């Protein structure tokens, strides 16, 4: 069997201090791979340094990591894709093991689960958000990953070319994980070292902004992937409120034959109508989600597994 074509994908924004080290690391770890650096409107010398280090440099003008990943997946043609960040925090030496695991198990994604080498590697609140989202996905899909926000991943061709990337920013890792879990793809994890950024390289993450993004992602996941649960929960809350308001009213009517609080009766009726609408909306959207999942599954199955003629 011929050797698979391997592409290393590095989204970058102002990584002049780290990109040369990152490119060199992956070129040494995967000598036959092509290293692509996708610059996202950097204002420093990231492009020049990456090109001098031997990378193929391309640009994505729309700001945001999700937009860069969408462009990389669309443009680059390979059998195996290794995605990491350009900040030298991920261990390039672990890449051969990740690729080998993908091919041996004919998996579609191997996640490099981060083992922090120094306390400063993780930003404040990052661990909590990671654990929160990991638990959320486990409840949604019955399984999850230990490091849902890791940017170090190896993909099969059929994953990349069937992934309808919609995210614009750093929530792209969550969307990638959901795509794999939703279609029940064969996936795995390998623990990899995670380092602090080199001096002169600054993180682009925002503690509070990313925290809000995680919470918003959780709500969006419930709404999109499990609409019956999401809208059913709203319907249940409204029905319980209506029942609590209606019990005293019903007791008064049974005793006196009168409805003294007519506005309350109207409110109860409105709450039950909205609850019923939410329930039926959940049922309808659940059918739509199932149809969408079938279409994505067919697009995924149209391509061979890694190591099987890929």
**pLDDT tens-digit series, residues 129-169:** 777 778 877 877 777 788 888 899 999 999 999 998 887 77
**Domain assignment present for 247:** yes
40 and 122 co-located in one domain? yes
**Domain assignment present for 293:** yes
82 and 192 co-located in one domain? yes
148 and 96 co-located in one domain? yes
**Domain assignment present for 1:** no
* Helix, strand, coil content of the chain in percent (nearest 5): 55, 15, 35
96 and 182 co-located in one domain? yes
292 and 164 co-located in one domain? no
Q: Which one-letter DSSP state was computed for residue 121?
A: G
Last residue of some domain: 218, 251, 276? 218
pLDDT confidence band for 309 (50 / 70 / 90): low
Q: CA-CA-CA-CA torsion for 84, 167, 214, 43, nearest 10 degrees?
A: 60
131-135, 209-213, 237-241: segment of lowest average pLDDT: 209-213
pLDDT confidence band for 54 (50 / 70 / 90): very high
Q: Is 102 exposed, middle or buried (0-12, 13-18, 19+ CB in 10 A)?
A: buried
The 3-state DSSP class for residue 131 equals helix
Q: How far apart are CA 46 and CA 16, in angstroms?
A: 4
**Domain assignment present for 309:** no
20 and 111 co-located in one domain? yes
pLDDT at 191 over 60: yes
CA 1 to chain centroid: 33
213 and 266 co-located in one domain? no
30-39, 56-65, 69-78, 174-183: segment of lowest average pLDDT: 174-183
Closest by CA to 34, choosing from 43, 26, 45, 42, is 26
- Please list, in sequence order, all residues whose beta carbon lies within 8 angstroms of the beta carbon of residue 227, skipping any fewer than 6 positions away: 281, 282, 285, 286, 288, 289
Phi-psi region of 234 (alpha: psi -120 to 50; beta: other; left: phi over 0): alpha
If one counts the domains in the chain, the total is: 2
How does pLDDT run across 78-104, given as a tens digit for each residue?
999 999 999 889 999 999 999 999 999
Task: Give me the residue label for tokens 């890791």.
Answer: 150
Q: Are 96 and 30 in contact (CB under 8 A)?
A: yes
The share of the chain scoring above pLDDT 90, in percent, equals: 50
Q: How far apart are CA 25 and CA 10, in angstroms?
A: 12
**Domain assignment present for 244:** yes
114 and 188 co-located in one domain? yes
Last residue of some domain: 218, 245, 264? 218
**Domain assignment present for 42:** yes
Q: Can you give the residue range of the structural domain that contains 186?
A: 6-218
214 and 259 co-located in one domain? no
Average pLDDT over residues 123-129: 64
71 and 198 co-located in one domain? yes
Q: How far apart are CA 193 and CA 121, in angstroms?
A: 10
pLDDT at 110 over 90: yes
Q: How far apart are CA 146 and CA 61, in angstroms?
A: 33
**Which pLDDT value is given to residue 123?**
56
Q: Which one-letter DSSP state was computed for residue 165?
A: -
**Domain assignment present for 281:** yes
pLDDT confidence band for 203 (50 / 70 / 90): low
Strand ranges of the sheet holding 187-194, from the earlier edge strand across to the other edge:
56-59, 34-39, 6-12, 80-83, 153-156, 109-116, 187-194
**Domain assignment present for 288:** yes
Last residue of some domain: 194, 218, 242? 218
**Which pLDDT value is given to residue 122?**
54
Closest by CA to 268, choosing from 237, 231, 232, 238, is 238
**Which pLDDT value is given to residue 190?**
93
Looking at residue 107, which CATH number applies to its domain?
Answer: 3.90.550.10
64 and 179 co-located in one domain? yes
121 and 254 co-located in one domain? no
pLDDT confidence band for 310 (50 / 70 / 90): very low
pLDDT at 177 over 80: yes
pLDDT at 170 over 70: yes
């Amino acid at each position: 069997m011929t050797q698979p074509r391997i592409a290393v994908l590095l989204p970058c924004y102002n990584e002049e201090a780290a990109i040369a080290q990152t490119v060199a690391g992956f070129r040494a770890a995967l000598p036959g791979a092509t290293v692509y650096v996708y610059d996202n409107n950097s204002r420093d010398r990231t492009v020049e340094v990456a090109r001098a280090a031997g990378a193929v440099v391309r640009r994505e003008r729309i700001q945001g990591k999700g937009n860069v990943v969408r462009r990389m997946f669309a443009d680059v043609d390979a059998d195996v894709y290794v995605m990491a960040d350009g900040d030298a925090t991920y261990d390039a030496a672990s890449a051969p093991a990740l690729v080998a695991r993908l091919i041996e198990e004919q998996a579609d994604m191997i996640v490099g689960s981060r083992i922090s080498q120094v306390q400063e590697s993780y930003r404040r609140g990052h661990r909590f958000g990671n654990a929160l989202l990991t638990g959320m996905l486990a409840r949604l899909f019955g399984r999850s990953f230990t490091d849902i926000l890791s940017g170090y991943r190896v993909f099969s061709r059929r994953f990349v070319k069937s992934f309808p990337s919609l995210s614009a920013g750093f929530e792209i890792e969550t969307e990638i994980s959901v795509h794999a879990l939703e279609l029940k793809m064969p996936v795995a994890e390998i623990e990899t070292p995670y380092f602090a950024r080199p001096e002169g390289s600054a993180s682009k993450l925002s503690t509070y902004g990313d925290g809000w993004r995680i919470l918003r992602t959780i709500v969006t996941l419930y709404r999109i992937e499990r609409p019956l649960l999401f809208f059913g929960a709203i319907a249940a809350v409204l029905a319980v409120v209506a029942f609590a308001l209606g019990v005293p009213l019903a007791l008064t009517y049974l005793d006196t034959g009168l409805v003294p609080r007519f506005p309350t009766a109207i409110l109860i009726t409105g709450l039950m109508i909205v609850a019923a609408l939410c329930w039926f909306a959940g049922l309808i959207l659940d059918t739509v989600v199932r149809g969408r999942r079938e279409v994505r599954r067919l697009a995924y199955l149209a391509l061979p597994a890694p190591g099987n003629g890929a």
